């Protein structure tokens, strides 16, 4: 028998991000009309209370209306307090989304806060054995600073009115899945596609933009091994601590199905 804490945790996993999907769904079905959206969201008042509360607080009006506002706090019932439920909904959805992207699955990635300067190093420190009464050798580091900027991505998901009106679990699952799939596909392509260059004040470049490439030498086992050797040699030259190999699913499948002259798998 499951413990109550385990059951609660499992339910939390299943509904994570669902509140944001329902919030978007209610607004879309109501064509942006606050009252109708709140009425539609009333059916989820107990299962995803933050979605209902965000609409009840009129947060959609705050998003659409960009007039000058007084500074707000999370305890100010007339201004910033209504933002709390909406921010929680978005955070849950983003956390769920991040776990499915390439960037989110890079366990050893160095995470840097946006808008904060950090040091980058292209030259290593000098270290040497030092005998008695011998000066310590001094090396020169090659340092620079970078500041990751803020960027925003948005899109339009086209669905039928029937899907918006349906409250069945299958329909809600489909709506949430489509939201995630569209965002994951976009972010993965922007992250890894060499053709994606930076656009000032709009979007960052991909991590492969401007990077040197190694041309494939063929499709035979020997050629593939040679290509991997060239790749690993290049990685070794730049002394990466924990490199990650990113591969398209169809490439991974092709390598797994490859057979050598003896009929065995060269890349098990």
- Strand-pairing partners, residue 123, are 142
At 69 the pLDDT is: 53
Query: Which residues contact residue 210 at a Cβ distance below 8 angstroms, ignoring those fewer than 6 apart?
Result: 194
Q: Residue 21 has which token pair? A: 């999907």
Q: What percent of the chain has pLDDT over 70?
A: 79
How many alpha carbons fall within 13 Å on the CB side of residue 126?
8
pTM above 0.75? no
Would you kindly state where each structural domain of the chain is located, as residue ranges? 4-105, 212-268
The pLDDT of residue 74 is: 45
How far apart, in whole angstroms, are the C-alpha atoms of residue 214 and residue 236? 14
User: Which residue's entry shows tokens 């620079």?
Assistant: 144
pLDDT per residue as tens digits for the range 188-240: 999 999 999 999 888 999 989 998 888 999 989 999 999 999 998 888 877 77
CB 231, CB 217: distance < 8 Å = no
97 three-state secondary structure: helix
Q: For 4-45, what is each residue's pLDDT tens digit? A: 555 445 445 545 667 778 888 888 888 878 778 888 888 877
Residue 80, pLDDT score: 47
**Size (the chain), residues:** 268
């Amino acid at each position: 028998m499951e413990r109550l804490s385990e059951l609660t945790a499992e339910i939390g996993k299943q509904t994570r991000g669902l509140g944001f999907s329902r919030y978007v769904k209610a607004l879309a079905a109501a064509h942006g009309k606050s009252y109708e959206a709140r009425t539609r969201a009333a059916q989820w008042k107990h299962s995803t209370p933050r979605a209902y509360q965000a609409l009840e607080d009129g947060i959609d009006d705050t998003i659409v209306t960009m007039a000058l506002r007084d500074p707000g706090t999370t305890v100010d019932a007339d201004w910033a307090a209504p933002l709390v439920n909406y921010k929680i909904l978005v955070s849950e959805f983003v956390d769920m989304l991040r776990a499915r992207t390439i960037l989110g699955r890079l366990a050893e990635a160095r995470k840097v806060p946006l808008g904060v300067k950090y040091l980058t190093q292209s030259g290593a420190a000098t270290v040497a054995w030092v005998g008695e009464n011998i000066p310590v050798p001094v090396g020169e580091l090659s340092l620079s600073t970078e500041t990751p900027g803020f960027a925003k991505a948005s899109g339009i998901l086209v669905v039928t009115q029937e899907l918006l009106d349906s409250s069945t679990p299958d329909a809600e699952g489909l709506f949430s899945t489509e939201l995630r799939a569209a965002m994951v596909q976009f972010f993965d392509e922007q992250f890894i596609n060499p053709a994606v260059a930076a656009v000032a004040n709009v979007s960052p470049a991909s991590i492969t933009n401007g990077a040197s490439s190694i041309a494939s030498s063929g499709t035979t086992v020997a050629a593939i091994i040679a290509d991997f050797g060239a790749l690993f040699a290049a990685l070794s030259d730049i002394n990466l601590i924990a490199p990650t190999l990113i591969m398209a699913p169809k490439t991974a499948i092709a390598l797994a199905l490859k057979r050598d002259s003896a009929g065995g798998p060269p890349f098990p």
